[in-house]
Amino acid sequence: MNKLIATALLALLVFNCKSPEARQPISTKSGSYIDASIALNKKRFAKEKAVIEKIMEADDDTYLASDTGFWYKYQTKTESDSLKTPGFGDLINFDYDVKSLNGNEIYSKADLKTQNYAMDKQELFTGLRHGLKLMKAGETVTFIFPSDRAYGYYGDENKIGPNTPLICEVTVNSITQNQNN
């Protein structure tokens, strides 16, 4: 009898010590939501780009395309080689305004006041952050940002709605080099 109980306990112990088996998912997702989102974003960008191209064609000035997905033109350009574009951590003092593509002012320079921005160390919307990297002190540039380079899906939760392309005129007053660079 003792052998039977010992054998049963040993068998119970062996079967309880086996490694757990992975459970199979009850349902699988196909990724169709992501595919639909990609298609929607491509359509939105194509519409925005068509409107932006019409604006640039109507303007007599030549716009440049940035590597990061927006367009810009210089109002005032500094040709001096002694002035540098900002690097990581440099303090930039600048003024800017924000307009919709139809030219309606959303935020004036007075509304936004003069800004001090530590390059890549503070929050700033993507397009403006990359635009400031192209500028030198004393320059004024007009940027046209598609919505994905502006405030994107959420807007600024105030005056700028979701998926709104923007025009910004930016003037860099000064750039103070970071001493650690």
Model pLDDT for residues 112-138, shown as the tens digit of each residue: 999 999 999 989 999 999 999 999 999
Question: What domains does the chain contain, in order, with CATH numbers?
Answer: 63-168 (3.10.50.40)
**137-141, 142-146, 176-180: which has the minimum mean pLDDT?**
176-180
- When pLDDT is cut at 50, 70 and 90, the band that residue 29 belongs to is low
* pLDDT tens-place string over residues 30-58: 667 888 888 999 999 999 999 999 999 99
Alpha carbon distance, N-terminus to C-terminus of the chain: 83
> Nearest CA to 40 among 148, 149, 137, 181?
148
- Inter-residue long-range contacts of 120-129, CB under 8 Å, 24+ positions, other chains counted: 120/88, 120/89, 121/88, 121/89, 125/149, 125/150, 125/151, 126/68, 126/150, 127/68, 127/69, 127/70, 127/166, 127/168, 128/96, 128/168, 128/170
Render pLDDT for 65-119 as a digit per residue (tens, 0 to 9).
999 999 999 999 988 877 889 999 999 999 999 999 999 999 999 999 999 999 9
pTM of the prediction? 0.80
Q: How many residues does the chain have?
A: 181
Q: How confident is the model at residue 13, as a pLDDT?
A: 64
